[in-house]
Structure 1
Amino acid sequence: MPFDEARYEELHHGGMIGSLVHYRDRTASTMDDARAGAAALRGEGCGDAYLTDEQTAGRGRFRRPWVDAPGASLLVTYHLCVLDLVYAPLVGLAGALAAADAVTEVSGLETELKWPNDVLAGGRKLAGILAEAQPGGVEVDVFLGIGINIRDAAIGGLSDAERAVATTIEGEGATLPSVEELLAALSEALERRMAEVDAEPERLLADWRARLAMLGSRVRLSTTDGEIEGIAEDVTAEGQLVLRLDGGGTYSFAAGDVTVL
C-alpha cells in the first residue's frame, strides 16, 4: 500500500530525524535518492528520510544487490550529519541499534546484532544497514540505509541458501507492524541513538557490544582478500572486529562477512 504520510505524522512524536519523508512508490535506490536530495539542498536536509516501497537497484555491503519484493520491507535511507569524520563509523552502529530497538518496540520480537551491522531474529538476518560517509563543508554527510524484512515476500526472491539464513517479522510470528508504525519507531530510536554518537559514544559502543551475538565464538571472516578463522574476541571503539588467530596474535578488521563455526 502507498505510504500514508498523515498516519506517519500522527505516530512520529517529534525530533529532527524523520521529520520530513521523501517518498516514492518505486525507485532505483533510496541511497542514491538521499545523495541527490542532499546535493540539491546544498547542506540542508539533515535528518530527512528517503522511503520507497520497491527498489530496482538497491545495494548492500560490497555493492551486492539488495533483493526484496514491493511493499514487503521497510526500505529507507536517512541523510544524517556529524561534525567530524571520526564519528562516521558510529552512525552504522547507531543505525543497527535503532533498527533493533524499533523492531522490538512495534512487534515484541527479540533481536541480536551481527557484526558489522546486521540485525538478527532467531539467529537469522532480519535487517541490514549500510552507512556511507561523504565529507563536505562544515559537517560530514552520512547516508544511512536501512532495510527491514516485514513480510515473508521480502525474502521470497532469495536463493535457497540465502533464504535459509534470512527471516522476516511475519516469519517469526511476531506482531506485524505497518510501514508507518515501523518508520516512526525507527526515526525516534535513531534520534536517541544519534544523540549518543555525539554525547555518549562509550555508552553506544557498550550497548552495541553487549548485543553482538558472536563474541567469544569461533568464526570465519570473509573479506575481499580471502578468508580467515579465529575467535571473535572484541570490537574496537571504531567498530572493527578483533579476531584472535590460532597462533595467538590478534588482528582488527573493518569490513567483511562473518560466519559462526
Structure 2
Amino acid sequence: MPFDEARYEELHHGGMIGSLVHYRDRTASTMDDARAGAAALRGEGCGDAYLTDEQTAGRGRFRRPWVDAPGASLLVTYHLCVLDLVYAPLVGLAGALAAADAVTETSGIETELKWPNDVLAGGRKLAGILAEAQPGGVEVDVFLGIGINIREAAIGGLSEAERAVATTIEGEGATLPSVEELLAALSEALERRMAEVDAEPERLLADWRARLAMLGSRVRLSTTDGEIEGIAEDVTAEGQLVLRLDGGGTYSFAAGDVTVL
C-alpha cells in the first residue's frame, strides 16, 4: 500500500528527525535520493527522511546489492548532520539502536546487535544499517540508510544460505506494524539516540556494547585483506571492533563481516 502521510503525521510526535518524509513508491536507492536532496537543499534538510516501497539498486556495506520485495520492508535513508567528522561513526551505532528500539516497541520482538551494523532477532538478521559521511560546510552530512524486514517476501529473493541467517517481523510470529507505525517509532527513537551522540556518547556506546550478541565470543572476521580469528573483546569509542588475537595482542578493525565460531 502507498505510504499514508496523514497517518504517519498522526503517529509521529514531534522532533526534527523524520518531520519531513520524501516518499517515492519506487526508486533506485534511498541513499542516492537523500544525497541528491541534500545537495539540492544546500545545507538545509537535516533530519529529512527518504522513503520508498521498492529499491531497484539498493546497496549495503561494500556496495553489496540490497535485496527486497515491493512493500515488504521499511526502506528509508535519513539525512542527518553532526558538527564534526569524529561523530560520524557514532551515527551508525545510533541507527542500529534506534532500529532495535523501534522493532521492539512496535512488535514486541526482543533484539540484539551484531557488529558493525546489523539488528538480530533469534540470532538472525532482521535489519541492516548503512551510514555514509560527507564533509561539507559548517556541519558534516551523514546519510543513514535503514532496512527492516517486515514480511517474509522481503527475504524471498535471497539465496538459501542467506535466508538461513535472515528473518522478518512476520517470520518471528509477531504482530505486523504498518510502515507508518514503524517509521514513526524509528524516527522518534533516532531523535533520542542522536541526542546521545551529541551529549552522552559514552551512554550510547555503553548501551550498544550491552546489546552486542558477540562480545566475549570467538569470532572470524572477514575483511578485504583476508580473514582473522580471535576473541571479540570490546568496541572502541569510534565503533571499531577490538579482537584479542591468538598471540595475545589486540587489534582494532573498522570494517568487516563477523561470524561467531
TM-score, normalisation: structure 2:
1.00
Q: Secondary structure at the match of 1:148?
A: strand
Q: Secondary structure at the match of 2:9?
A: helix
Distance across 2 between alignment mates of 1:256 and 1:202: 23
The superposition leaves residues 76-102 of structure 1 with CA deviations (integer Å, 9 ceiling, x where unpaired) of 000000000000000000000000000
Distance across 2 between alignment mates of 1:71 and 1:14: 26
CA drift at 1:132: 0.2
Aligned match of 2:203: 203
Distance across 1 between alignment mates of 2:100 and 2:174: 14
Distance across 1 between alignment mates of 2:247 and 2:137: 45
CA drift at 1:175: 1.2
Aligned match of 1:6: 6
Distance across 1 between alignment mates of 2:195 and 2:11: 21
CA drift at 1:209: 0.3
Q: Secondary structure at the match of 2:171?
A: coil
The superposition leaves residues 175-202 of structure 1 with CA deviations (integer Å, 9 ceiling, x where unpaired) of 1100000000000000000000000000
CA drift at 1:7: 0.3
The superposition leaves residues 50-76 of structure 1 with CA deviations (integer Å, 9 ceiling, x where unpaired) of 000000000000000000000000000
Distance across 2 between alignment mates of 1:198 and 1:235: 19
Q: Secondary structure at the match of 1:258?
A: strand
Q: Secondary structure at the match of 1:27?
A: coil
CA drift at 1:117: 1.0
Q: Secondary structure at the match of 1:76?
A: strand
- Deviation above 2 Å: which 4+ runs of structure 1? none
CA drift at 1:215: 0.2
Aligned match of 2:59: 59
Distance across 2 between alignment mates of 1:219 and 1:174: 30
% identity of equivalent residues: 98
Distance across 1 between alignment mates of 2:108 and 2:89: 28
Q: How many residues align?
A: 261
Gaps of 5+ in 1: none
Distance across 2 between alignment mates of 1:63 and 1:43: 26
Distance across 1 between alignment mates of 2:79 and 2:19: 12
